[in-house]
Amino acid sequence: MTVPATAVQPLTRVAVHLGSRRLDVALDASRTLAEVLTAAGVTRTPGLLVIDAGGRALDLTSPLAAQVEDGSLVHVVAPAPRPRGRAARARAAWVARRPDPQPALIGAAGASAAVLGAVELLDPAHRGWVALVAAVVLGVGALLLATARTTAESAATLVAPLLGLAAGVAAVDPAGDADRRLALVAGLVAATGAAAVRFVTTRAQRRGQDLATVLLTAVGVVAGLALAVLLAGLPAVVVAAVLLGLVPFALRLLPVWSLSVPDDQLVDLAHVARTAPSVRGPRPRGLGRVNERQVGRTVDSAERRSDAGVLLVCAVPPVLVPVLLVAALGDTLRGWGAVVLVAGLVVVLSLQPRSARGAVARWAPRVAAALVLVELAAVGGSRLDDGALVAVGCVLLALVAAAVSIALGRGWSSVVASRFGDFVEGLGVVAAMPAALIAADMIETLRRMTS
């Protein structure tokens, strides 16, 4: 028996993504995308796009079966809402630019300020009212940038102390060596003030405070040390020596200092507090349970502070080692102290990243160690009698460090080698500060002060 076949119209099955929603639709070959969107409750706004899996825009008024195959996936992309207000539209126009010009403009201002400060220090000529006007302009610019609410947070945080440094240097006419030191100390104090204002601003805005905290600490330490050395009448090379001696300790303290966990999260004070004031007063309340979001936010903030601190600390040896070598290599005792200091720095910078986490913490100290070796070979080769031997030793040490780094990167491990590395690293940390003080001729300075 033959049954006559009835005509069945074929259906086209598609999956439509609407943000977090997904609709599985089966429709006739004559249906359009506009009808599908209307049935799904999507408003036809200007700029609305429907694209397939390959990124091709589809026509809303043409039949869907003629544009996609059966079982295809299409995405509905709606335009972002237009910002309300003139300020919001201007901010959106700034953000929409690629690349963002703000970091480049702020960086150019910082570079100009650094060049101006360097020229003021190197040229001993008096400038009178020109330098005073430059100091006022730079100071106002540093204050405005430190308090500004900008999308280029990191650039503003870095450049505001540079503008303050240039303003402080320009405020003092460096006619001689003593005036140059005074101008530099004034610039460092002004940079610390700008960094402090920027820190308060970022804390109030609740964003970008990690870099501001590290920068304020670093600039404050340098300014305080330079001011103390100037008031004590010590040679200027003492500042470079003490900062180089503090580098190994700073690298060891950064991981501990970066991660800050409240005591209430470690100990339940409501149960362990048994002191007399706690009996008379109300019982302390705990912070509650620790959730995954809170832990992730705390760890990310600690990693940002650690990376910023590592970069700042690793920038100190390449900048200050030539200054100390030039001043110390003319004397035998001071020269050996400088060589021991450089050796300790290279050892610490090469071995400390073994247990570090993150690309910045692993590679920034190693790059700094390589630069210090190059500087020792360049400066020591021209100022020491056996400079060729020093250069060859630096090259051999660099080759050994590179071989060890490659072996560690490929997964090589040894308990004996690790213990030996810990011993050598600890020896470098302990010997760094005494060697730095010897290279700065602090023995002779103390003898003169006590005699």
Q: How big is the chain, counted in residues?
A: 451
Q: Supply the pLDDT for residue 5.
A: 43
Helix axes 415-439, 316-328, angle to 10 degrees: 50
Q: How far, in Å, CA of 380 to CA of 342, rounded?
A: 11
Q: Which of 211, 206, 387, 395 is nearest to 306 (CA)?
A: 211
Is it true that domain 12-77 has CATH number 3.10.20.90? yes
Domain ranges of the chain: 12-77, 102-233, 314-451
Q: Which of 298, 393, 288 is nearest to 339 (CA)?
A: 393
Residues 184 and 150 sit within 8 Å (Cβ to Cβ): no
- Whether the pLDDT of residue 384 is over 70: the answer is no
Q: Which of 148, 343, 368 is nearest to 251 (CA)?
A: 368
Residues 153 and 208 sit within 8 Å (Cβ to Cβ): yes
More confident residue, 211 or 47: 211
What's phi and psi for 371, nearest 5 deg? -65, -40
Residues 435 and 340 sit within 8 Å (Cβ to Cβ): yes
Q: Supply the pLDDT for residue 221.
A: 92
Lowest-confidence region among 9-23, 177-191, 357-371: 9-23
Q: How far, in Å, CA of 146 to CA of 157, rounded?
A: 7
Encode pLDDT of 51-109 as tens digits.
777 777 777 777 877 787 777 778 777 766 666 666 666 665 655 555 666 667 677 77
